Amino acid sequence: MGLLGASVALPAVLGLLLLAIPSLGPRPARGLSVGGSLAALALLLAAASGWRPGGPKLAEEAAWIPFFGISFRLGADGVSLALALLTAALQPLASLASAASVRDRERVHHGLLLVLEAGMLATFLARDLFLFYVAWELTLVPMFFLIGLWGGPERRAATIRFVLFTAAGSLPMLVGLLALAIRGSSSGWSFEFPGPGAAEALGLSLGEQRWLLLALGLAFAVKLPLVPLHSWLPLAHVEAPTAGSMILAGVLLKMGGYGLLRFGWPVLPDAMAEAAPLLAVLGVAGVLHGSLCALGQQDLKRLIAYSSIAHLGVAALGIATGTETGLAGALFVMVAHGFGTGSLFALVGVLYERRHSRDLASYGGLAPRMPLAAAAFGLATFSSVGLPGLAGFVGEVLVLIAAAPRFPVLVPLAACGVVLSAAYMLRAVRLVFLGPETEGPARDLTRIEAAVLLPALALLVLLGIRPGLVLDATRPDLAKLTAGPR
């Protein structure tokens, strides 16, 4: 087993051990969760150290179900590494956030978090279609229990809606992946993940591409989430525990964008060219709908949930351009959103621990008494609204530049979403931290809470100043994903 396989296997094994050993206490469970996720991050960093942008992708393979041509085949190029490292970096922060907020069934909670991490990493690193599908579905189970067992008062409705929407997309995706496997095999079965140039190798007609894009795109659209398939997200975010919201926004939503990057332009280019205007319209609709809904929210967590719909609408617009710049911008938006919105959800958890309320009317004037929390919230907010010098600015600008020649009517509407994001996020800052002081607990960040926030916020600054850390590493592989007939 290589470094990639170990980075997936380690959290899976530790998670299953936590779930299987009832005598394990809360403190060892927390230690295994944080330590295991840090070890997975170290393994991925070690694997990435031996890879060069534009060079051969990392590859590992082990036999799994040879009769059907199914292998435990993992690989990573710049795109996979960017999202896998995002996952591995956010996971220990979510585990630390749980250590500060979860007080019951901690062993099970941390076990589910580790199993969830294994599924997410396997999704981004899979190079076998069957493994990709299994990993994609595996993420559903722990998230279902995280929301259902540690969620808010409407957690049952949230979990049912989450499962129904996800299952509605996953079943057609399975059919589409099987069709790709059959079409890509000259004899027997082959579940080799399609790479650049797959469109020519598969020889799919336009009609076949349309059906495959519909089958696969439905699952990706639900996860992204695109309007009108987004209605599961706000309730899931509001009811999820802090760690669940951090992972849901930071990583799980990116699986939809990753699927479009991998299967869209390189595998189904002609169908994507036809669908690109619709994808762009839906992306901009998500930007406007998410922003306007966020502007009217009194629940701070629901406000940030709707902001996620808006930001990922920008990513969808970038993917719709089919250009290297647009795809680079979309990927950067996803990475920046992961760290930025993950930080915001962690801060909502901090505030809820103090006041046991997410109603904006319950807050006010907290900045003098919680200066560290106010500074952290302000930094994450400024990245979210696209302030130059922070990570949130880079991806949005690249997407708008790429979209301007192809969708000139939509770009001003998307830009309106940027203005609206400043309106609803700065409104939240004003209502929570400025103005007259309100009565109630207002203890500033603890050491654990600061340890959750500091790495993510530091990365928002670093990537804003040095965007080439992501762009230079991913552009050669994104250029390959845009190759193919139009």
Q: What is the pLDDT of residues 374-429, one digit of tens each?
A: 999 999 999 999 999 999 999 999 999 999 999 999 999 999 988 899 999 999 99
Give the pLDDT of residue 71.
Answer: 84
* Predicted local distance difference test score (pLDDT) of residue 183: 77
User: What does the pLDDT average to over 177-192?
Assistant: 69
The widest CA-to-CA distance across the chain, in whole angstroms, is 73
Tell me, yes or no, whether 71 lies in a domain.
yes
| Within a domain: 145 | yes
The structural domain count of the chain equals 1
Q: What is the residue range of 199's domain?
A: 3-481
Helix 447-465 × helix 78-101 angle, to 10°? 160
Q: What is the pLDDT of residue 436?
A: 85
Q: How far apart are the first and last CA of the chain?
A: 40
Residue 87: other Cβ atoms inside 10 A: 29
Alpha-carbon gap, residue 153 to 238, rounded angstroms: 10
| Domain-located, residue 13 | yes
Residues 6+ apart with CB under 8 A from 213: 264, 268, 271, 272, 275
Quick one: tokens of 95? 């585990």
Q: Does 432 score more than 50 pLDDT?
A: yes
Task: Give 336's pLDDT tier (boundaries 50, 70, 90).
Answer: very high
Name the residue with higher pLDDT: 480 or 408. 408
Which residue from 317, 134, 324, 313 is spatially nearest to 226, judged by alpha carbons?
313
C-alpha to C-alpha distance for 478 and 257, rounded to whole angstroms: 13
What's the chain's length in residues?
A: 486
Phi first, then psi, for residue 264 (nearest 5°) are: -75, -90
Is residue 315 domain-resident? yes
Report whether 410 contacts 317 (CB < 8 A): yes
Average pLDDT of the residues of the chain: 91
Give residue 23's pLDDT band: very low, low, confident or very high (50, 70, 90). confident
- pLDDT number for residue 294: 95
> Do the Cβ atoms of 159 and 151 come closer than 8 Å?
yes
* pLDDT confidence tier of residue 277, bands split at 50, 70 and 90: very high
pLDDT, position 484: 43
Taking the complete model, does pTM exceed 0.85, yes or no? yes
Distance between CA atoms of residues 103 and 109, nearest Å: 10
Which of 74-83, 188-197, 454-463 has the highest mean predicted lDDT (pLDDT)? 454-463
Rounded CA-CA distance 433/209 in Å is: 51
C-alpha span between 86 and 440 (Å, rounded): 36
Instruction: Please confirm whether the linkage preceding 228 is cis (ω < 30° from 0).
Output: yes
**373 token code pair:** 């929390």
Residue type, 255: M
pLDDT at 152: 86
Per-residue model confidence (pLDDT) at position 462 = 97
486 domain-assigned: no
Q: What phi, psi does 150 have (nearest 5°)?
A: -120, 15
Percent of residues, the chain, with pLDDT higher than 70: 95
Beta bridge partners of 63: 71
Cα–Cα distance for residue pair 298/301, rounded to 1 Å: 9
CB 298 within 8 A of CB 228: no
58-65/70-76 β-pairing: antiparallel
Strand-pair partners of 65? 70
Q: Note whether residue 48 is domain-resident.
A: yes
Question: What's the CA angle centered on 51, arms 451 and 59, to 5 degrees?
Answer: 105
Mean pLDDT confidence for 188-212: 75
